[in-house]
Amino acid sequence: MNLKNIRNFSIIAHIDHGKSTLADRMLEVTNTIPERKMRDQMLDTMELEQERGITIKMQPVRMEHNYNGEDYILNLIDTPGHIDFSYEVSRALRAVEGSILLVDATQGVQAQTFTTLEMAQKAGLKIIPVLSKVDSPLARIDEITEEVMNLLNIDPDDILYVSGKTGEGVESLLNHVIENVKPPVELIPDTKSVRAMVFDFEYSNHKGVIIYVRLIDGNVKKGDQLVFGTSKRKFFALDVGVFKPDAQSTDELRAGEIGYIVTGIKEARVAQVGDTVTLFKNQLETLDGYSEPTAVVWASVYPESTDDFELLKIALGRLQLSDSSLSFEEEVSGSMGRGFRIGCLGMLHLEIVSERLRREFNLDLIVTSPSVTYEVMKKNGKMLTVYSAAMFPEHGDVAMVEEPWVEIKIISPAEYLGGIMNLLYEHEAEAGDTETFGDGRTQLIIMMPLRELMRNFFDELKSVSSGYASISYEINQMRTAEVTRMDILIAEEPVAAFTRIVSTRRAEIEADDMVEKLYKTLSRQMFVVKIQAKVLGKIVASRKLSAMKKDVTAKLYGGDITRKMKLREKQKKGKKRMKEMGKVNISHDVFLKMMKK
C-alpha cells in the first residue's frame, strides 16, 4: 500500500477517561476483530490490566478502513494514562504522526491531560481533541468544550464527540484522522537499505527478543540480515509481521508501517528502546533515540526462600525485556541474604513490578519500604549517591544532603482546597500558581520533596478531596534536604536492616512508630531487652521488652526459706550476665513483618 494511505496515531488521556473503551469500538467499526471474539479492554492483554481496569503497557494494533472508496491502514498505539507509565507514552508518541487527546465529558480536563498533551506537542504531533462519554447523563458537554477550547486555543468546531460505550461518533473520528493526520514520509526515499526505530520489545522463550518497530525507510523481509545501531549485534529477521492485535506474519514490513521483527536473540541488554535497526550489508545512519528513563523510587527485593535467588535474577532480566524503564542491581543484606535493589518510575510502577514477579514467576517476595536517591557531601568533600539507608553516612560525617523535588499539578473542586492546603503543609510542600476553571475547579501548582510524595500522599489527597482531585507530577530539581539517618538498636546493638532515612522534622514521630512496632513484634528473651531509636547521635525513642519469667523455686518442697532466696539470687546474677553478654537473635519473620506494610 502507498505511503499516502497509511495513518499512524495514538490515543492519550488522563487515567480512566476511556482510551481502551474507545479503542475497542475502533476495532469493531473497522472489523479488525470478529464480534464473537470481542471483549472489553481488548488491547489490555495483561491479567493485571484487566483486573485493575488500567493500561500498563502500550499496545499497537493495525486496522483497515475504507473511506471515500479508498482503503487505508490505520496503525493505532493505545497508551497508559497513569503518570508512572509516562515513559511508555513518550515512546509511543515518537512512532506516530498524530494523537487523539481524549477528555472525559463528565470530568473535564485533569492534571495528567496537561502532561500528555505537552508530550504530544513537543513531539510535533497533530492533536485531535475529542470528548468521550458524551452519552452519560453526567456529561457537561458545553462546560468541558469550553475547557478544551481554552486549553488548545481552538474553535468549538475543531472538537469531536464520541461515546466509547455506544460507538457514537467513532467512525466519524476515524475519517477525521484520515483527513487531518499526515501520512508518514520516508527520510531517504528509494533506499536500498532499511531503517527502523525500536519503540518497544518483548521476550519469548521460543523466539527470543521480539522488537516492536516503526519502519522509517525501506522495507524489511523475513531472512534479511540486520544489525542494531547501538549494540552492533547482527541477527536475521526470523519473522516479520503486524499486530491485529495478535501478532500476524506478513511477507514484509514497508516504510511507514508499525510491526514486529523476531530476532532470535536470547541475551538481555542487546535490544534497547530508541535503537535503530538497519541492513547489515548497507548500514544507514542511526536515528535520534529516546532519553534514558531515570528511576525515582528504589526498593530492595528479596526472595522469601534463599533457594529462589537465581530464579529472581532470571525473572528480573525477563521483566526488563518487556519493561525498559525497570532497573536493578544485586545487593547483599546481613539479615535478609542476597537480593536486588530495583529502580522504578513511581509507586504504582513498583507495585506492578512486584505483583508481576509474584504472578508470572511464582515468587514469594519481601519488598522493603521504597526510598529516593540522595546526593550526600561528606565533610571531607567526597560526594556519594545514596539510594539505601545503610549507605547513608553517620550524622557527624555529613556536610550537606540534596534530594529530588517534584513539580505537582493538582486539580480539585474549590470546596476541598482547605483540606488540601493542610495536607500540603504536612508534606513540606511549597504552593505556587493557581488557576480557576469555569466549573468551580482550581489548579494548584506546588513543589514538594519526592520522599514526601511517596509518603502516602496520593491516598491522603484522594481522602481529603473525596476522590475528586487529580494529580500529575514531574521531577524538577535537586534541593538541600533536611533529612537524617535513623538507627534502630536492639539490646544496644544497631540492626542495619531497620535503618531509615527520615525527615528531621518527623524524626521523633518515625522513631516512636518504629520502636512501638518492634516492641509488638519481637519475642521476649530471658533478659530485659532495650529497643531504641537513635537520631543525630541521640536516643529519641525507647521501650523495654520485659524478660521471660520462670519460678526457679517451683520444684522445691519444704526446707528453709533461705534455700529459695539463694536460688532467686543465683537466677538474678545469671540474668545480669545474660544482659551484659547476650545477643538477641531476630527471627526471619520479624524482618518480614517490619518490611511489609
Do both 175 and 222 map to the same domain?
A: no
Do both 76 and 155 map to the same domain?
A: yes
Do both 414 and 447 map to the same domain?
A: yes
User: Can you give the pLDDT at residue 246?
Assistant: 83
- Could you give the angle at which helices 457-464 and 417-426 cross, rounded to 10 degrees? 160
Mean pLDDT over 361-381 rounds to 84
Cα separation, 318 vs 209, in Å, equals: 10
H-helix or E-strand spanning residue 239: strand 239-243
- CA separation, residue 445 to residues 112, 410, 424, 435, 470 (Å): 13, 7, 11, 9, 12
573-586 pLDDT, tens digit each: 665 555 544 565 66
> What is the chain's alpha carbon radius of gyration, rounded to the nearest angstrom?
29
Classified as helix, coil or strand, 411 is strand
User: Can you give the pLDDT at residue 235?
Assistant: 92
Do both 351 and 393 map to the same domain?
A: no
Do both 38 and 141 map to the same domain?
A: yes
Q: Name residue, grid cell 529502580.
A: 343
- Could you give the angle at which helices 86-93 and 111-122 cross, rounded to 10 degrees? 30
The mean-pLDDT minimum among 332-341, 420-429, 469-478, 544-553 falls in: 544-553
Domain end position, chosen among 180, 205, 237: 180
Mean pLDDT over 147-159 rounds to 90
Cα separation, 275 vs 279, in Å, equals: 14
Residue 313 structural domain: 297-367
At 438, which CATH number?
Answer: 3.30.70.240
At 326, which CATH number?
Answer: 3.30.70.870
Do both 158 and 15 map to the same domain?
A: yes
Do both 468 and 498 map to the same domain?
A: no
User: Can you give the pLDDT at residue 559?
Assistant: 59
**Confidence label for 155 from pLDDT (cuts 50, 70 and 90):** very high
User: Can you give the pLDDT at residue 459?
Assistant: 82
Do both 583 and 507 map to the same domain?
A: yes
Cα separation, 164 vs 168, in Å, equals: 7
Do both 337 and 399 map to the same domain?
A: no
Using omega within 30 degrees of 0 as the cis cutoff, is the peptide bond preceding 245 cis? yes
135-151 pLDDT, tens digit each: 989 989 999 999 899 88
Q: Where are the beta strands (DSSP E) in 414-548?
A: 430-436, 441-449, 470-480, 483-490, 493-494, 500-503, 529-535, 538-545
User: Can you give the pLDDT at residue 37?
Assistant: 66
Q: How many C-beta atoms lie closer than 10 Å to residue 36's C-beta?
A: 5
In a domain, 288, yes or no: no
The mean-pLDDT minimum among 88-97, 121-130, 189-198, 457-466 falls in: 88-97
User: Can you give the pLDDT at residue 43?
Assistant: 56
Domain end position, chosen among 122, 147, 180: 180
261-300 pLDDT, tens digit each: 999 988 777 888 888 899 999 888 888 776 677 777 888 8
In a domain, 226, yes or no: yes
pLDDT at residue 160 greater than cutoff 70: yes
C-alpha cell recorded at residue 407: 513539580
User: Can you give the pLDDT at residue 362?
Assistant: 87
Do both 15 and 138 map to the same domain?
A: yes
Higher pLDDT, 49 or 586: 586
pLDDT more than 90, % of the chain: 23
Q: Are 10 and 90 in contact (CB under 8 A)?
A: no
Q: Cα-flanking dihedrals φ and ψ of residue 252, to 5°?
A: -160, 165
What is the overall mean pLDDT for the chain?
Answer: 82
- The pairing of beta strand 239-243 with beta strand 220-221: unpaired
Q: Are 60 and 75 in contact (CB under 8 A)?
A: yes
Q: Name residue, grid cell 501548582.
A: 445
Mean pLDDT over 361-377 rounds to 83
Do both 584 and 514 map to the same domain?
A: yes
Q: How many domains does the chain have?
A: 5
User: Can you give the pLDDT at residue 471?
Assistant: 83
- CA separation, residue 86 to residues 459, 472, 530 (Å): 20, 10, 47
In a domain, 392, yes or no: yes
Classified as helix, coil or strand, 120 is helix
Cα separation, 83 vs 591, in Å, equals: 32
Q: How many C-beta atoms lie closer than 10 Å to residue 587's C-beta?
A: 12
At 246, which CATH number?
Answer: 2.40.30.10
User: Can you give the pLDDT at residue 181?
Assistant: 93
At 9, which CATH number?
Answer: 3.40.50.300
Mean pLDDT over 247-258 rounds to 91
Mean pLDDT over 104-115 rounds to 85
Do both 138 and 238 map to the same domain?
A: no
On the 0-12 / 13-18 / 19+ scale of CB atoms within 10 A, 57 is buried
213-230 pLDDT, tens digit each: 999 999 999 999 999 988
Nearest residue to 394 via CA among 381, 404, 379: 379
385-443 pLDDT, tens digit each: 887 777 888 877 888 999 999 898 898 888 999 999 999 998 989 988 888 876 788 88
At 552, which CATH number?
Answer: 3.30.70.2570
In a domain, 334, yes or no: yes
In a domain, 144, yes or no: yes
pLDDT at residue 193 greater than cutoff 70: yes
In a domain, 508, yes or no: yes
In a domain, 39, yes or no: yes
In a domain, 188, yes or no: no
Domain end position, chosen among 315, 349, 367: 367
Cα separation, 356 vs 361, in Å, equals: 8
